[in-house]
Amino acid sequence: MKILLICSSGMSSSLLAKKIKKAADDKGIDAEVWAVSTDALDNNLPNADIVLLGPQIRFMQKKISEVASVYNVPVDVIDAKDYGMCNGANVLEKALKLLNRQ
């Protein structure tokens, strides 16, 4: 499973990406998780199974969903509480549900 996190600069999501990867490892799930800025979307989207947006860019969900639909990649917004608390386990669960892998 390849989870792409996108935020305005790519920095605030980097720690969350590590927490999601750890949660996946703990469950025995083979996952690649990385974070980029919105500027890097086009270069990273073809490699993703799912795109999760930081809550600070939720206003871009429709636009990013349109671009991602070309690759049949679902896009959703990370819950603000889970994002703020870096709750990788909850974000992983959301990704699994969206990909119907749970």
**Which residues have CB under 8 Å from 42's CB, separation 6+?**
67
The dihedral region occupied by 72, where left means phi > 0, alpha psi between -120 and 50, and beta the remainder, is left
Q: Give, for all 102 residues of the chain, the pLDDT tens digit.
A: 999 999 987 667 899 999 999 999 999 999 999 999 999 999 999 999 999 999 999 999 999 999 999 999 999 999 999 999 999 999 999 999 999 875
- Active site members: 7
| pLDDT score recorded for residue 102 | 52
pTM: 0.94
Can you give the pLDDT at residue 9? Answer: 75
Spell out the domains of the chain, with CATH numbers in brackets: 2-98 (3.40.50.2300)
pLDDT confidence of residue 19: 97
Q: How many CB atoms lie within 10 A of CB 89?
A: 15
Residue position matching structure tokens 């930081």: 54
Query: What is the C-alpha to C-alpha distance for residues 30 and 8, in angstroms, rounded to an integer?
Result: 27
- Euclidean distance between CA atoms 88 and 82, whole angstroms: 8
